[in-house]
Amino acid sequence: MATIRDVARYAGVSPATVSRVVNGLVGYSLATQKRVEGAILALDYEPDTLARGLKTKQTSVIGVLAPLVSDALASEVMTGVENAARQRGYSVMLGRTGLGSAHVAGYLRTLRTYRSAGVILISAAITPDMRRALGANVPLIAVAIRDQSHFPSIAIDDEQAAYDGTRYLIDLGHRHIGLLAGDPNSVLVNTVRELGYLRAMTDAGLPTVLEQGNSLYDSGPPALRRLLERDPLLTAVFALSDEMGASAVNELQRSGRRVPDDISVLGFDNTRTSQHVYPALSTVSQPLEEMGELAVEHLLSAGNSRSRILLHALVTRGSTAPVPPG
């Protein structure tokens, strides 16, 4: 494995000059920069970011943890994170931790040892245990979840977004609107979205009916079947994730119901999944890529601990229509 001294000899410069080029510092000519970069490519040199972090107290790595979130949603956030990190010369380390808190703590301890520049948690609340595992000096922020504690987060107003989505279906003339809810343990996202649906239906004097899924694709069809058993008169379904919405569209059409002629379906998130189903899914959009970009800015802005609430929007496509006559 090539060392910084090997690169210096190959380029005909000092190791200090190689270090300045690698770290984007000043003090060398364009010709020198090109020689050093050519030597790096020729020797396949990889800077030792951990060793550098031992000196600077920080490496150029940002950690991203996704405890339990759809691949589509995580991908959208990650696009924003990687774009913003790359522009600033940082790399990104992604960990999928599932439901196990021990796995989350393990990742955090690893990132702490690695002297990460900061950690982004996707669609999961920051806990005191997480903060302790990471250490007090490493920035930590949650995205796509509105943290009600003193920890920073970047999210939309999920309750108002669900209210607006339900109101959209009501304005189309629907009176029997069922809800495909997400994981009830996610009190800061799915439970809050449920409240938005319930508030809109109550304000309109309409009956409510909901069934729980877990926000992932496979949970949609069985929850939808239970929903239709409870209210056979449903003319609209509001799924609190695009994955459940897409699976609802497929399940309805598999059972002989036309979307949106017989039943309209509305999703939530506006991930790419919403356009990978026919008809394409109308959805409540949250700016996931922007959330990722802002999270990186937050981590790299010393002393910035302010949470952000971003705007949501309604994206209408082919899966929703006015209530059918009769």
Three-class SS string for 179-221? Answer: EEECCCCCCCCHHHHHHHHHHHHHHCCCCCEEEECCCCHHHHH
Question: In sequence order, which ranges of 48-118 are alpha helices (DSSP H)?
Answer: 49-56, 71-87, 101-113
> Considering the chain, what is the average pLDDT of its residues?
86
Cβ neighbors of 197 (< 8 A, separation 6 or more) are: 162, 163, 165, 166, 177, 179, 208, 210, 238
Summarize the confidence of residues 298-308 as an average pLDDT: 78
Element (H, E) at 279: none
**Banded pLDDT at 50 (limits 50, 70, 90):** very low
Could you tell me the domains of the chain?
4-47 (1.10.260.40), 57-155+289-310 (3.40.50.2300), 158-287 (3.40.50.2300)
> Beta strands 313-315 and 282-285: pairing type?
antiparallel
Read off φ and ψ for residue 134, nearest 5 degrees. Answer: -80, -30
Lowest mean pLDDT among 175-189, 230-244, 249-263: 175-189
Q: Is the pLDDT of residue 207 over 50?
A: yes
pLDDT of residue 126: 83
Is 28 a residue whose pLDDT tops 90? no
Query: Could you tell me which of 272, 294, 305, 288 has the C-alpha nearest to residue 85?
Result: 294
Query: How many residues are there in the chain?
Result: 326
Place of tokens 């809050």: 192
What number is the average pLDDT over the span 294-306? 81
Residue at token pair 């600033």 = 88
Question: Is residue 275 very low, low, confident or very high in pLDDT (cuts 50, 70, 90)?
Answer: very high
* Residues 77-120: tens digit of each pLDDT: 999 999 999 888 888 888 776 655 556 777 787 787 777 888 99
Residue 188 confidence (pLDDT): 67
Residues above pLDDT 70, as percent of the chain: 87
pTM recorded for the entire structure: 0.80
The 8-class DSSP code of residue 323 comes to: P
- Quote the CA–CA distance of 248 and 257 in Å, as a whole number: 11
Q: Is the dihedral of CA 52, 58, 62, 68 positive or negative?
A: positive
C-alpha dihedral sign at 166, 172, 178, 181 = negative
Q: Which residue has the higher pLDDT, 180 or 105?
A: 180
Q: What mean pLDDT is predicted for residues 154-160?
A: 95
Query: Across 8-17, 34-43, 245-254, 293-302, which has the greatest mean pLDDT?
Result: 245-254
Residue 265's alpha-carbon distances to 41, 159, 247, 295, in angstroms, are 52, 19, 10, 31
The answer on pLDDT for 15 being more than 90 is: no
CA distances from 101 to 77, 133, 135 (A): 21, 11, 16
